A and B are shown apart, each in its own frame.
Chain A
Amino acid sequence: MKLKKNKRKPNLISDLLAGMIVLEFFFLLTDLTEYLLTEKYWLLNSLDYKLTGLFFLFLVLIASFINWEKLILKKIYIALALLSFFTLLVIHLKYNEFYRELQNYPKIKNLSKTWGIKGSWVKVSGRNFSDTHEQGKVYLGEQEMTIKKWSDKEIIFEIPLNTNLGEHRIYIENYKKKRNQTINSYQVKSI
Chain B
Amino acid sequence: MKILQLISHFFRISSTSILLFSILSIFFHLDIKMNSNLLITLQIASFVYLFKIFIVDGGQNLLKHNKINISVKTFNNKQYLQKLFINLLDFLQRFIIYLPLLITGIAAFLVLKSPATNSFFIIKGMFFANLVLIVFQLQTSKKSTTSLHKLIEISMFSLVILIFTIIKAPYFNKNFTGNNTMKYNTYVEPAKYMVENNNFFRFQRKYTSNPINNVDGLYKEFSTFPLLEWSLAISYKILGLNNIFFNTRLVMYLIGLLILLSSYFLVKKQINQNTAIIFLTLLSTNPLFLLATHLTIYDTLLMLFFVNSYSLYCDYKNKQKLNYLAWAGLLLGIASTMKSSVIFWSVPVFLLDNFLINFKSFRKFVQEIGLFFVFILLPSSIQSLAISNLPNKPVISSLLLIIGLILVKYVLTKKTLLFEIIGKTFDWFIKHGILAIFSIVVIGSTAIYLLVQKIGQWSEFFTDSKLIFLAPMYQYIFQARQLSFVSYFIFALSILGFILLFHKSADRNQRITMFGLLFGAAVYLVINSKVIFFHNYYSLHIIYVYLLLAAFFLNKITKNLNIAVKFVFIILLAIFCFKLTERKTIELLAAEKWGFQATSDYIATNTQDNEIFVDDSHTLSITISASRPSIAHFNYPEIQKDIKEIGFNQTMKKYHIKYLISSNEKPSYLNYAIAFTNLDMKAFNHGEMTRRDMILQKFGLYKKQMTKEEQETSRLLLEQAEQIEKKQLFKLEKVFDSYKIYNLYGE
Q: Do A and B come from one complex?
A: yes
**Residues of chain A whose beta carbon lies under 8 Å from any beta carbon of chain B:** 1-4, 6, 8-10, 12, 15-16, 18-20, 22-23, 26, 30, 34, 47, 49-50, 52-53, 56-57, 60-61, 63-65, 89, 92-93, 96
Residues on A with beta carbons closer than 8 Å to the beta carbon of B16: 15-16, 18-19
Partner of B20, one of A9, A20, A47: A20
Q: In angstroms, how far is the closest chain A Cβ from the Cβ of B547?
A: 36
A85–B24 CA distance with the chains assembled, in angstroms: 12
Which residue of chain A lies nearest to B141 when distances are taken between CB atoms in the complex? A12
Q: A60 to B137, Cβ gap below 8 A?
A: no
Q: B34 to A3, Cβ gap below 8 A?
A: no
Q: A6 to B21, Cβ gap below 8 A?
A: no
Which residue of chain A lies nearest to B134 when distances are taken between CB atoms in the complex? A12
Q: In angstroms, how far is the closest chain B Cβ from the Cβ of A138?
A: 30
B723 contacts chain A at the CB level, 8 A cutoff:
no
Q: A53 to B39, Cβ gap below 8 A?
A: yes
Interface stretch (choices B25-33, B325-333, B652-660, B711-719): B25-33
A89–B13 CA distance with the chains assembled, in angstroms: 19
A52–B18 CA distance with the chains assembled, in angstroms: 14
Query: In the complex, which residues 417-445 of chain B have their Cβ closer than 8 Å to any Cβ of chain A?
Result: none
Q: In angstroms, how far is the closest chain B Cβ from the Cβ of A25?
A: 10
Q: B34 to A49, Cβ gap below 8 A?
A: yes
Q: A49 to B13, Cβ gap below 8 A?
A: no
Q: A19 to B35, Cβ gap below 8 A?
A: no
Q: In angstroms, how far is the closest chain A Cβ from the Cβ of B76?
A: 8
Which residue of chain B lies nearest to A15 when distances are taken between CB atoms in the complex? B16
B42 contacts chain A at the CB level, 8 A cutoff:
yes
Partner of A60, one of B10, B28, B33, B141: B10
Q: With A49-B33, A53-B39 known to touch, is A64 a contact of B64 (CB < 8 Å)?
A: no
Residues on B with beta carbons closer than 8 Å to the beta carbon of A16: 16, 20
Residues on A with beta carbons closer than 8 Å to the beta carbon of B24: 23, 89
Q: List 19 A-B contacts (CB under 8 A).
A: A1-B63, A10-B8, A10-B94, A12-B137, A15-B12, A16-B20, A18-B13, A19-B19, A23-B21, A34-B33, A47-B33, A50-B38, A52-B34, A53-B38, A56-B34, A57-B42, A60-B13, A60-B14, A64-B10
Residues on B with beta carbons closer than 8 Å to the beta carbon of A65: 1, 6
Given contact pairs A1-B59, A18-B9, A61-B10, a sample of 20 additional A-B residue pairs in the complex whose CB atoms are under 8 Å apart = A3-B60, A4-B60, A8-B5, A10-B94, A12-B138, A16-B16, A18-B13, A22-B13, A23-B21, A23-B24, A26-B17, A34-B33, A47-B33, A49-B34, A53-B38, A57-B14, A57-B38, A64-B9, A64-B10, A93-B30
Q: B35 to A53, Cβ gap below 8 A?
A: yes
Q: With A12-B97, A47-B33, A89-B24 known to touch, is A64 a contact of B13 (CB < 8 Å)?
A: yes
Task: Classify the secondary structure of B's interface with A.
Answer: helix
Partner of A96, one of B14, B30, B42, B94: B30
Q: In angstroms, how far is the closest chain B Cβ from the Cβ of A128?
A: 16
A10–B14 CA distance with the chains assembled, in angstroms: 14
B722 contacts chain A at the CB level, 8 A cutoff:
no
Q: A19 to B72, Cβ gap below 8 A?
A: no
Which residue of chain B lies nearest to A13 when distances are taken between CB atoms in the complex? B138
Which residue of chain B lies nearest to A54 when distances are taken between CB atoms in the complex? B38
Residues on A with beta carbons closer than 8 Å to the beta carbon of B38: 50, 53, 57
A26–B14 CA distance with the chains assembled, in angstroms: 12
Interface size on B, residues (CB 8 A): 39
Residues on A with beta carbons closer than 8 Å to the beta carbon of B28: 89, 93
Q: In angstroms, how far is the closest chain B Cβ from the Cβ of A31?
A: 9
Q: In angstroms, how far is the closest chain A Cβ from the Cβ of B154?
A: 16
B592 contacts chain A at the CB level, 8 A cutoff:
no
Residues on B with beta carbons closer than 8 Å to the beta carbon of A15: 12-13, 15-16
Residues on A with beta carbons closer than 8 Å to the beta carbon of B94: 10
A4–B72 CA distance with the chains assembled, in angstroms: 15
A53–B43 CA distance with the chains assembled, in angstroms: 13
B504 contacts chain A at the CB level, 8 A cutoff:
no
Q: With A65-B6, A96-B31 known to touch, is A3 a contact of B64 (CB < 8 Å)?
A: yes
Q: In angstroms, how far is the closest chain B Cβ from the Cβ of A15?
A: 4
Residues on A with beta carbons closer than 8 Å to the beta carbon of B39: 53
B703 contacts chain A at the CB level, 8 A cutoff:
no
Q: With A3-B60, A6-B64 known to touch, is A92 a contact of B20 (CB < 8 Å)?
A: no
B65 contacts chain A at the CB level, 8 A cutoff:
yes
Residues on B with beta carbons closer than 8 Å to the beta carbon of A20: 17, 20
The 4 closest A-B pairs by CB, nearest first: A19-B16, A19-B17, A53-B38, A64-B9
Residues on A with beta carbons closer than 8 Å to the beta carbon of B19: 19
Which residue of chain B lies nearest to A4 when distances are taken between CB atoms in the complex? B60
Q: With A49-B33, A64-B9 known to touch, is A23 a contact of B20 (CB < 8 Å)?
A: yes
Interface centre among B24, B33, B138 (most CB of A within 10 A): B33
Q: In angstroms, how far is the closest chain B Cβ from the Cβ of A136?
A: 24
Q: In angstroms, how far is the closest chain B Cβ from the Cβ of A72?
A: 13
Q: A1 to B30, Cβ gap below 8 A?
A: no
Q: B60 to A1, Cβ gap below 8 A?
A: yes
B153 contacts chain A at the CB level, 8 A cutoff:
no
Residues on A with beta carbons closer than 8 Å to the beta carbon of B20: 16, 19-20, 23
Residues on A with beta carbons closer than 8 Å to the beta carbon of B733: none
B57 contacts chain A at the CB level, 8 A cutoff:
yes
Residues on B with beta carbons closer than 8 Å to the beta carbon of A61: 10
Which residue of chain B lies nearest to A89 when distances are taken between CB atoms in the complex? B24
Query: In the complex, which residues 30-69 of chain B have their Cβ closer than 8 Å to any Cβ of chain A?
Result: 30-31, 33-35, 38-39, 42, 57, 59-60, 63-65
Residues on B with beta carbons closer than 8 Å to the beta carbon of A26: 17
Which residue of chain B lies nearest to A63 when distances are taken between CB atoms in the complex? B13
Q: In angstroms, how far is the closest chain A Cβ from the Cβ of B554?
A: 36
A89–B28 CA distance with the chains assembled, in angstroms: 10
Q: Mark B138-177, 1 if CB is under 8 A from A, else 0.
A: 1001000000000000000000000000000000000000
Q: B34 to A4, Cβ gap below 8 A?
A: no
Which residue of chain A lies nearest to B37 when distances are taken between CB atoms in the complex? A53
Residues on A with beta carbons closer than 8 Å to the beta carbon of B42: 57
A65–B8 CA distance with the chains assembled, in angstroms: 11
Which residue of chain A lies nearest to B65 when distances are taken between CB atoms in the complex? A9
Q: B138 to A64, Cβ gap below 8 A?
A: no
Which residue of chain A lies nearest to B28 when distances are taken between CB atoms in the complex? A93
Q: In angstroms, how far is the closest chain A Cβ from the Cβ of B137?
A: 7
A12–B9 CA distance with the chains assembled, in angstroms: 11
Q: A3 to B13, Cβ gap below 8 A?
A: no
Q: In angstroms, how far is the closest chain B Cβ from the Cβ of A89?
A: 7
Q: In angstroms, how far is the closest chain A Cβ from the Cβ of B38?
A: 4
Which residue of chain B lies nearest to A46 when distances are taken between CB atoms in the complex? B33
Q: With A1-B63, A64-B10 known to touch, is A49 a contact of B1 (CB < 8 Å)?
A: no
